[in-house]
Amino acid sequence: MSRLFYLKAIVIITALLAATGAMNAWADLPTAQFMLVGHGPRAEAMGQAVVATCFDYTAAYWNPAAMVFMPEPELGADYTELFKDSEGGGIKDSFISFVFPYQRFAYGFRYISEKTDGIKTYDSTGLAGNNLATVDNNNMDLLVAYQVTSHVSVGIGVGTTNMTLIDKKANALSADLGVVFKQDKISAGAGLANFGSKLKFTEDSAGEDQESIIRAGIAYTLLQNKNLLVAYSYEKVLTDTRAGGMGLGFEYLPFQFAAFRVGVRKQNDDIIKPSFGWGLKFSFIYIDYSFTMAPAELLGVAVHRLGAYLKFGNDLRSIFNRSESEENSILDR
């Protein structure tokens, strides 16, 4: 089964266990599965094969080292509903980030949110209650990247992962690391994500490991105009052998204002998920869309994702450069 299915099942089961006070009996249940959901319609359309080519606002999720190769500051967000039932409940997933490249450094912030509505509650005897519960999970990170050479960069992110399962709460520190090599037509990247302390829903519990990930990828541009990109990525989830897998993606830019993408992802549970999408540019505003097809094993679990981001050009950085020049001028007097 896909990790989206497990995510829904785990969230609902964990919520029910919290309501009945049986959390300790399921201490080995994976938590923070929401951190395995990919972000950015471009990445999703390309089978998540973007570890080496995420030179946009989604670098804050896929590989922080890529932020330093971004030519301009960006503010972006995306949204999707992973599941939605007839009663209006479902899993709503959103992502927002800001990346500011400046000289040999780049600075970033990201916020990931997942809310699950319409979960039925049960009392200690197992009887269904009249109220519906909401599960609220989020992750916040501050990130920085440094360009070591003209072709190599490194990045790190530090933040917190927070989970609220009805009346149970847990939080933990988390960290991401990344490295990127970029030269002309080829780029390569690798990273570690979600490494940190354990999530504890009760003081006397041993805690649950975060969904720690190892990622690696490579990308290559083709054609005379370098407007066809081929990318491959591999992902291993250390805490869940069912998750992770490999992705292959293509991006074609026939015009400066349009991009077309297609990809496929093969998960470790042998489920194959084709995907496609597009991107459009309107001045400094970019709109992206992706559609991940439902595999035969999970009909009805297709995913639409919509995102948008703004490029600020050199105007925002010129404010800092002007302030720096004025400061130096004062010091020289």
Q: Please write the tens of the pLDDT for every residue from 52-75.
A: 999 999 999 999 999 999 999 999
Tokens 């690391």 -> residue: 177
Of 80, 38, 42, the closest CA to residue 280 belongs to: 42
pLDDT for 120 beyond 50:
yes
Instruction: Give the pairing of strands 272-282 and 285-292.
Output: antiparallel
* Domain 3-328: assigned CATH number: 2.40.160.60
pLDDT for 198 beyond 50:
yes
The pLDDT, as a whole number, for residue 271 is 86
pLDDT for 21 beyond 60:
no
Question: How does residue 84 score in pLDDT terms, banded at 50, 70 and 90?
Answer: low
CA atoms of 116 and 319, how far apart (whole Å): 41
Of 78, 49, 60, 57, the closest CA to residue 215 belongs to: 49
Question: How does residue 152 score in pLDDT terms, banded at 50, 70 and 90?
Answer: very high
The pLDDT, as a whole number, for residue 119 is 64
pLDDT tens-place string over residues 250-275: 999 999 999 999 999 998 888 899 99
The pLDDT, as a whole number, for residue 33 is 82
What is the radius of gyration, based on Cα positions, of the chain?
A: 21
Stretch 101-123: mean pLDDT: 84
Question: How does residue 121 score in pLDDT terms, banded at 50, 70 and 90?
Answer: low
CA atoms of 116 and 89, how far apart (whole Å): 7
Phi, psi of 211 (to 5 degrees): -80, 80
